[in-house]
Structure 1
Amino acid sequence: MKCALVLAALLAVCLSAKDNNHGHTTVDPMIALVQKEVQALYAANSHLHLEACTHKCDELFDLIDATDEADSDRLCVDYCKCEIDNSCP
């Protein structure tokens, strides 16, 4: 019986610790940064085309690690499409 009580208490602690963000969605800081920079690029030039937006964004995020660079390139394309074509991820 003591074992069942200990397990129940442990389960309660684990479940209460699960929602440490209080129901809010966590946003990846890299995604937020790329989105903010693309919005700033478009605000500075509302006639910006997708290719130019993607190129300018990619220049801002010239990363050394190949995986990080590929991720930032993809994010630049996604958020430029979002701003220019209203095709948001």
Structure 2
Amino acid sequence: MSPLDKRFATPPAGGGRICVVGAGFMGCVIATLYARHGYAVTLCDEVPALLESYRDRARPIAASFSSDSCEVKAMLARVTPLADLSGATAS
């Protein structure tokens, strides 16, 4: 792991949270990338099928960031799919 990767592999100070709106391809990538960097991510979309299939679609993306299956599982676990935008953005 490069020094830059190590720097960004640590969770953000204060437990960073982010909401990604849209669970299509780009939303899936963005959510997984933020989860890789330790953020708790809420992935929001009004299409239930996109939310239900997030983990299956994101697994290869997460695997491209890490070959460690435990890290991949941890990345995917940091993303919470949610259909309700107001609930996704509540503090």
Return the TM-score normalized by structure 2.
Answer: 0.37
Return the TM-score normalized by structure 1.
Answer: 0.38
Is the strand fraction higher in 1 or 2?
Answer: 2
The answer to which structure, 1 or 2, has the higher relative contact order (CA under 8 A, 6+ apart) is 2
